[in-house]
Structure 1
Amino acid sequence: MDFLAPLLAVYAPGVPIGVRGGGGRFVRVRRVGGIELTPNHDQPWLDVLVWHDSDRTRMALANQLWAWLRAANNDPAGTGAVVLYGSTVLGPRQMPDPADDTKSICMFTVELIVRPA
């Protein structure tokens, strides 16, 4: 989140990002797996869930977030970490909102490598 939050603030001002919440306009980032790569390198799998006004805006925002993560190459993430793209586990896709199946979200899963700065 420390990597994505400043980029999101410029690209989509007013769209919050967090580990809890959803609905309306929101981006949720959650760790869903991964392993320790080395004693100093973590290799998390992250789900990125996107809520927005329409299928088009949800997918556009998800694709932008996905592009930023795929471009990560030893970029700072906050003050204490560096992030590097590993791979895409599942690309962006529309699916039912887990909290309300009458609505939709866009979601993707990536694997990153995170190390101390």
Structure 2
Amino acid sequence: MNRPVIVMPDAVAVVTSYLRGALKAHGRPVPVVSRIPTPRPLAFVRVQRIGGTQQTPVSDRPRLDIHCWAASESAAHDLAALARALLGDIPGVRDGVTVYRVTEVGGPMWLPDDQTSAARFAFAVEIHMRGRTLDTPSTD
């Protein structure tokens, strides 16, 4: 008997899509990206997977760094605080992916950009997500 093949979701894609829409809905329509854009906008959020583990045979628990840049220290703080609060509401079905829970593993910290000295705050989360069954070809 063949076991089903479970494929874990792209957590960065799920979270960037969710945050982009949630920030816009809360009056902060900033770019939410996985890589630093060129040219660099004054304010943006970068989501980066930095590890994590498979939680169960059918779910993943990726660890994500969330970095928030803005024009000033207080503006970067406020953007990070909003992104942090919005991620608390991510459980549910997002872009077809079931998100069970989010756990903060590193609270917001001041982290000026080492390349440009731009204002930046960062925090880290783990997000528990369900994988999907990969359709396997028949062996007829």
CA contact (8 A) 1:40 1:115 kept: yes
CA contact (8 A) 1:3 1:76 kept: no
Partner Cα separation in structure 2 for residue 16 and residue 71 of structure 1:
19
Q: Percent identical across equivalent pairs?
A: 32
* Alpha-carbon shift at residue 34 of structure 1 (Å): 0.3
**Which of 97, 104, 110 matches 2:113?**
97
Secondary structure of residue in 1 paired with 2:118: strand
* Alpha-carbon shift at residue 97 of structure 1 (Å): 0.5
The equivalent residue for 2:84 is 66
Partner Cα separation in structure 1 for residue 48 and residue 35 of structure 2:
8
TM-score of the superposed pair, with normalisation by structure 2: 0.72
Partner Cα separation in structure 2 for residue 7 and residue 28 of structure 1:
15
Higher Rg of the two aligned structures: 2
**Which of 73, 87, 95 matches 1:55?**
73
What is the aligned residue count? 113
Q: Which has the higher strand share?
A: 1
Secondary structure of residue in 1 paired with 2:126: strand
* Alpha-carbon shift at residue 35 of structure 1 (Å): 0.5
**Which of 69, 76, 81 matches 2:93?**
76
* Alpha-carbon shift at residue 48 of structure 1 (Å): 0.4
What stretches of structure 1 of length at least 5 have no aligned partner? none
CA contact (8 A) 1:96 1:104 kept: yes
- Residue type matched to 1:51 in 2? W
What stretches of structure 2 of length at least 5 have no aligned partner? 1-15, 133-140
Once the two structures are superposed, residues 89-109 of structure 1 have per-residue CA deviations (whole angstroms, 9 ceiling, x without a partner) of: 111111121432x32311000
CA contact (8 A) 2:70 2:118 kept: no
